[in-house]
Amino acid sequence: MPHRTEDIEIGLLLEALYQRYHYDFRHYARASIKRRLLQARSHFNMSSVTALQERVLHDPEMLPRLLGFLTVQVSEMFRDPSYFRALREQVLPHLRTYPSLKVWIAGCSAGEELYSMAILFREEGLLDRTLFYATDINPEALKAAEAGIYPMDRLRKFTENHQKSGGKSSLSDYYTADYGRAVFDKSLRNNVVFSDHSLVTDAVFAEMQLISCRNVMIYFDRGLQDRAVGLFKDSLTRHGFLGVGSKESLRFSRHASAFSEFVPEEKIYRKREP
Amino acid sequence: MSAPPDRAVVIGASAGGVQALLALLPSLPADFPWPVLVVLHVPADRSNVLAGLFEAKCSLEVKEAEDKETVRPGVVYFAPSDYHLLIEENGDLALSSDEAINYSRPSIDVLFESAADAYGERLVGIILTGANNDGAAGLAAVAAAGGVALVQDPAAAYARTMPQAARQACNAALVLSLERIADYLKGLKAE
Ligand SMILES: C[S@@+](CC[C@H](N)C(=O)[O-])C[C@H]1O[C@@H](n2cnc3c(N)ncnc32)[C@H](O)[C@@H]1O
C-alpha cells in the first residue's frame, strides 16, 4: 500500500530527530507515537508534521518540549500495589542474602517508582546496602526524579497504593508537606545514581540483582523490545530478577527462554542459567 | 504461521454494553473470518472477568488483548481496563497507558482511529449503547478512511448519548438495530 503523506512525514521527523539529536523513536510502536506527534502538531499550532520537523531541527529549545509529547510520563507511587507486595514477599527474601545490592529502575519517569522502591527497601532493612540506578531519556523527568517533589493532591492515591502493597510504615513518614507539595526525604536517595540512559541506543553499565522496567517497553515495537530485554539479560547477575509492567510480558520476545516466570501474575521473571 | 488478516471489526460500547454485546457476539459463527476488537467501558475491577464471561457464551475465542500479540481471524479481543488498545498496520496489538481521552481509558476513539489508519476500507466500526461521547470522532475516522460505520439505533439503546453522538459526527453511519448489526456481521466473508 502506498504510504500516506502524513506517515511519510512522521518517518522523516523521527529520522531527523535521530540524526540531529540522537533521540531514536524510529522503532517505537508506531500507532501510538503517531497519535502523540499529531497532538504535538496541534499543540504547537503547526500546519503539518513537516513544519514541526523544521522547527525542531532549527530550534533546539523545541526538543525538550517535543520530548514531553513523545514520551509518556503517566506514573504513580506503588503503581499496581500487588507488584510491590510480590517484591516484598517473594523477591526481597532472596536479595537479603547478598551483602550489597544493585537495583536498576529503567524508565523512572519523575521518580515515583524509584521512591516506592526505596521506601520498600527501607522498610525491609535493605536500603543501606543498595545502590539504585534510576535512568530515563527525558531530562525533565530525571530532574523531577532527583527533586522528589509531588503535588499534594497525588498523595492520597500514593498512600492508598502504599498501604495495599503491604507497607509497614506510614507514607507520611517519608515526606514533608510544603505549600501543597510533598517533598520526599533526601535520605531515600543517598544511594541513587540518576542518569540519562536509553534502552534503545545505550549499553550495559553495571551488574544488577534486580531490574524494574515497567510501562516502557510497551511503547516499543517488538524488535526494540528484544533489544531492551537482551540488555536486561546481560545486566543481570546469576538468577537476577526482572519485573515488567502488569500488561507487558516476555512471551513475545526473542529472549523469552532466557528467563523463567518467577511470579507470573506480577510479571516478575528470573534469569535462567544456561 | 499465516499472515495476519488484513481486515477487522472494531466495536465500542459503554453503559449497557455488556447486554448489547451479549446480543451480538454469541451470534457470530465459529468460523467468523475477521478479528473483532472491543473497547467496553467498565469499572476497573470488573474488566478482567469480561473475557471469561463472553468466552463461555460465544463460539468464537474471546480473550483480553495482550501487548505485541498478532491478531488472528475469528478471535474477539477485549481492551484491558486502564490501557488504551491500538492496532498496528502489521496486525500487532499495542497497549498504552497514555492519559485518558475524554475521561476514558481505554478510549474507543484511540482504537478506532488506529484501526482506520491500519485497515482503511477493510474495516467495520460499530458504536453501541453508552452515556458519553467517546467513539464519535473514532467512527468518523473509520468512515473517512473508507470503512463501514454502523451505529446502534439510539431509540432502542440502553443509553442513547453515545450512538447519537456517533451518528451526528459521522453522516455516513448506518443506524441499525442490534439484530441487523448481527446480520451484517454474519454476512461478512473472508474475501
Ligand atoms: C509511562 S513511564 C513509566 C514510569 C514508571 N516506570 C511506571 O511504571 O510508573 C515511561 C518512561 O519511560 C521513559 N522512556 C521512554 N523511552 C525510553 C528509552 N528508550 N530508554 C529509557 N527510558 C525511556 C519515558 O521518558 C518515561 O519516563
> What's CA B36's distance to the chain center, in Å?
7
Q: Is B14 a catalytic residue?
A: yes
* Residue B189 confidence class, pLDDT cut points 50, 70, 90: confident
Q: Please say if the pLDDT value at position A121 is more than 90.
A: yes
Q: State the pLDDT at residue B5.
A: 82
pLDDT averaged over chain A? 96
Kindly state which CATH superfamily the domain A81-271 is placed in: Vaccinia Virus protein VP39 (3.40.50.150)
> What's CA B83's distance to the chain center, in Å?
15
Q: State the pLDDT at residue A212.
A: 98
Q: pTM score > 0.90 for this model?
A: yes
CATH level 3 topology of B8-186 = Rossmann fold (3.40.50)
CA distance A241 to A266: 12
Q: State the pLDDT at residue B190.
A: 75
Percentage with pLDDT > 70 across chain A: 99
Q: State the pLDDT at residue B2.
A: 65
CA distance A64 to B162: 38
Give the pLDDT mean for B62-81: 95
* Residues 6+ away with beta carbon under 8 Å from B94: A29, A31, A32, A218, B67, B68, B85, B86, B87, B88, B114
For residue A199, the ligand 1 atom closest to its alpha carbon is: 20
* Residue A274 confidence class, pLDDT cut points 50, 70, 90: confident
* Digit-coded pLDDT (tens) for A198-222: 999 999 999 999 999 999 999 999 9
Binary contact (A36, B98; C-beta < 8 A): yes
Give the pLDDT mean for A39-48: 97
Q: State the pLDDT at residue A273.
A: 84
Q: State the pLDDT at residue A195.
A: 98
For residue A200, the ligand 1 atom closest to its alpha carbon is: 19
Closest Cα partner for B10 from B92, B93, B125, B120? B125
B88 contacts in chain A (CB < 8 Å)? 29-31, 221
Give residue ranges with CB within 6 A of ligand 1.
A 71-75, 79, 106-107, 109, 112-113, 136-138, 141, 198-200, 214-216, 245; B 97
State in Å: Cα A67 to ligand 1 middle.
12
The question of ipTM being above 0.95 is answered as no
Q: Please say if the pLDDT value at position B43 is more than 80.
A: no
Q: State the pLDDT at residue A95.
A: 98
Binary contact (B96, A252; C-beta < 8 A): no
Provide CATH 3.40.50.150 ranges for chain A.
81-271
* Digit-coded pLDDT (tens) for B126-148: 999 999 999 999 999 999 999 99
Q: State the pLDDT at residue B55.
A: 92
- Give the mutation target among A18, A71, A80 for probing the ligand 1 site: most ligand atoms within 8 A of CB: A71
Q: Please say if the pLDDT value at position B1 is more than 60.
A: no
Distance, first Cα to last Cα, chain A: 44
CA distance A105 to A109: 10
Q: Which residue of A has its CA nearest to B88?
A: A31
Do residues A182 and A97 touch, judged by C-beta distance below 8 A?
A: no
* Residues 6+ away with beta carbon under 8 Å from B99: A74, B105
* Residue B177 confidence class, pLDDT cut points 50, 70, 90: very high
Identify the active-site residue in B47, B84, B104, B134. B134
Higher per-residue pLDDT: B3 or A154: A154
* Residue B42 confidence class, pLDDT cut points 50, 70, 90: confident
Q: State the pLDDT at residue B3.
A: 77
Q: Please say if the pLDDT value at position A2 is more than 60.
A: no
Give the pLDDT mean for B105-121: 96
pLDDT averaged over chain B? 94
* Digit-coded pLDDT (tens) for A20-30: 999 999 999 99
> What's CA A191's distance to the chain center, in Å?
18
CA distance B49 to B76: 14
Going along A113-235, which residue ranges are E strands?
130-136, 149-151, 175-178, 181-184, 192-196, 208-213
| Cell numbers representing residue A28 in the block | 517505537
Q: Please say if the pLDDT value at position A159 is more than 60.
A: yes
Give the pLDDT mean for A236-245: 97
Q: State the pLDDT at residue A139.
A: 96
* Residue A33 confidence class, pLDDT cut points 50, 70, 90: very high
